[in-house]
Amino acid sequence: MLKRIIYISLGVAGLSFAVSSCKTPELTEKAINSAVPESYTGSQDTTNTADLVWQEYFSDPYLRSLIDTALNNNQELNITLQEIQIAQNEVRARKGEILPSVNIGAAAGVDKVGRYTSQGANDANTEIKPGKEMPDPLQDYMVGAFATWEVDIWKKLRNAKKSALTRYLGSVEGKNFMVTNLIAEIANSYYELLALDNELEIVKQNVEIQTNALEIVKFQKQAARVTELAVRRFEAQVLSTKSLQYGIQQEIIETENRINFLVGRFPQKVERDHKVFTELVPEMIHAGIPSQLLANRPDIRQAELELAASKIDVQVAKADFYPKLEISAGLGYNAFNTAYLFTTPQSLIYSLAGELVAPLINRNAIKARYLTANSMQIQAIYNYEQTILNAYIEVANQLSNIENLEKTYSLKSEQVNALTESIDISNELFKSARADYMEVLLTQRDALESKFELIETKMRQMHAKVDFYQALGGGWN
């Protein structure tokens, strides 16, 4: 049996309204402002610290080892890598939508119709071959290939693929931004840990100094030079200083475990050399020029790609107003008996159909998607501009911070030296009865606080070094 179906419907009747239906709503437009100042402090030197890889910027071998482990084991980073894979799969899916969809299928069935029906009467009077009637019940077998294809005449599908590809590239930049933040967080936590180690050592040294002072006061009491009140006050001072150890030790444990979490491992001791902390000096920094932020900062690059994708999404949404052309085709074999299934041309079937459809009435959903896409594009513009502004301010803040901390540390060092010397002076004066015990206690307390402040200032200096590198966009490449 030869069955040929050629059906081509191009929607001729619909073309009259297709033109009118292509009119799109007016959109609110916003210009993109990506301009930045020419310099941070008037310098046009393009040497940029962000160009250094993190292995060169951080010289401490223990810190390097922690960062290297984190880049392999950090769970949040690995989650982000899977998001990149998801974005890549989206690109693959969009690419597949552009190509024709081809399926292969087979079907089998049986059909029993009533004798006293038009089909039954017709089958009863029909012979397949001379002397051979149509079988009853009638079996039906079919095998073939079927294809559907939306012709991308308005570039809707190609633009959708381009948008997905752009967002994939944006997700890669998002991963780079996370790498920068992860490195900065580990470095800052590491320097905080070194600072705590030094604070603990200072406390132990002060406990020893204060214990020696307590013994002197006890001898003074025996000689009737001071009262029991002085002894008790010195004892209280020693106990107060000793109690500081346990608070610092708890902070050390929590900081170690914060680092362990970032590197993706269970709690364990973080290897380090705390003695080098006071000798650390931030290197000479080079901010370059602000325009370099557009290339170095992954968050700016990601915002730029998101903006590009949102622009493409507007074009994709706009294409919904235009007629859509779909073509479907099929080729196969169909017979009531498997013995005749592949008999050519009697059992051969094929079909070809085209359809052109355009929206006419109730286009509110299409308009809403179009306007929403445009609003998201404007959002992306604001986000891009905000990201640039934030990056510039971060660098400017850290430049000022580094300069002021350098001056602060210099003055704090002089303060510590003066108060450290005053401890010996106050002890000697106390022994010769030329100073009372309160002066000794206050001098010891002030010296301890000044040493803590010096360590705190050093830690803030190292944090500024890390934050400056991060603000410039270093660490990911």
In the predicted structure, residue 14 carries a pLDDT above the cut 70? no
Length of the chain: 477
Which band of pLDDT confidence, cut at 50, 70 and 90, is reported for residue 11? Answer: very low
Q: What is the pLDDT of residue 9?
A: 39
Six-digit token pair at 216? Answer: 């002197």
Q: What residues have CB less than 8 Å from 37, skipping those under 6 apart?
A: 290, 392
Strands 324-335 and 348-357: antiparallel
Cβ atoms of 276 and 458 within 8 Å: the answer is: no
In the predicted structure, residue 294 carries a pLDDT above the cut 50? yes
- Considering the entire predicted model, what is its pTM? 0.86
Q: What residues have CB less than 8 Å from 141, skipping those under 6 apart?
A: 106, 107, 108, 334, 335, 336, 337, 338, 341
What single string gives the DSSP state of each residue in 347-399?
A: TEEEEEEEEEE---S--HHHHHHHHHHHHHHHHHHHHHHHHHHHHHHHHHHHH
Q: What residues have CB less than 8 Å from 15, skipping those under 6 apart?
A: 323, 356
Cβ atoms of 398 and 390 within 8 Å: the answer is: no
In the predicted structure, residue 67 carries a pLDDT above the cut 80? yes
Q: How far apart are the first and last CA of the chain?
A: 68
Cβ atoms of 391 and 293 within 8 Å: the answer is: yes
Q: What is the pLDDT of residue 170?
A: 96
- Token look-up 């705590």 returns 196
Cα–Cα distance for residue pair 348/332, rounded to 1 Å: 6
Cα–Cα distance for residue pair 45/312, rounded to 1 Å: 37
In the predicted structure, residue 16 carries a pLDDT above the cut 50? no
In the predicted structure, residue 235 carries a pLDDT above the cut 50? yes
In the predicted structure, residue 4 carries a pLDDT above the cut 80? no
Cβ atoms of 179 and 71 within 8 Å: the answer is: yes
Kindly report which listed range (31-45, 293-307, 369-383) carries the lowest average pLDDT score.
31-45
Cα–Cα distance for residue pair 100/98, rounded to 1 Å: 7
Q: What is the pLDDT of residue 18?
A: 46
Cα–Cα distance for residue pair 187/62, rounded to 1 Å: 10
CA-based nearest residue to 194, from 52, 58, 71: 58
Q: What is the pLDDT of residue 20?
A: 47
> How many CA atoms lie within 13 Å of 416's alpha carbon, on the beta-carbon side?
17
Q: Which amino acid is at 40?
A: Y
Q: What is the pLDDT of residue 139?
A: 87
User: What are the φ and ψ backbone dihedral angles of 135, each rounded to 5 degrees?
Assistant: -70, 150
Q: What is the pLDDT of residue 10?
A: 39
In the predicted structure, residue 463 carries a pLDDT above the cut 60? yes
Q: What is the pLDDT of residue 22?
A: 60
Beta pairing partners, 354:
327
In the predicted structure, residue 301 carries a pLDDT above the cut 50? yes
* Cis status of the peptide bond prior to 137, with omega within 30 of 0: yes
Q: What is the pLDDT of residue 2?
A: 30
Beta pairing partners, 328:
148, 353
Cα–Cα distance for residue pair 249/201, rounded to 1 Å: 11
Helices (H), 223-347: 228-262, 293-296, 298-318
Which band of pLDDT confidence, cut at 50, 70 and 90, is reported for residue 203? Answer: very high
Tell which wins on pLDDT, 456 or 424.
456
In the predicted structure, residue 160 carries a pLDDT above the cut 50? yes
User: What are the φ and ψ backbone dihedral angles of 37, each rounded to 5 degrees?
Assistant: -60, 160
User: What are the φ and ψ backbone dihedral angles of 106, each rounded to 5 degrees?
Assistant: -140, 150
pLDDT, average across residues 52-64: 95
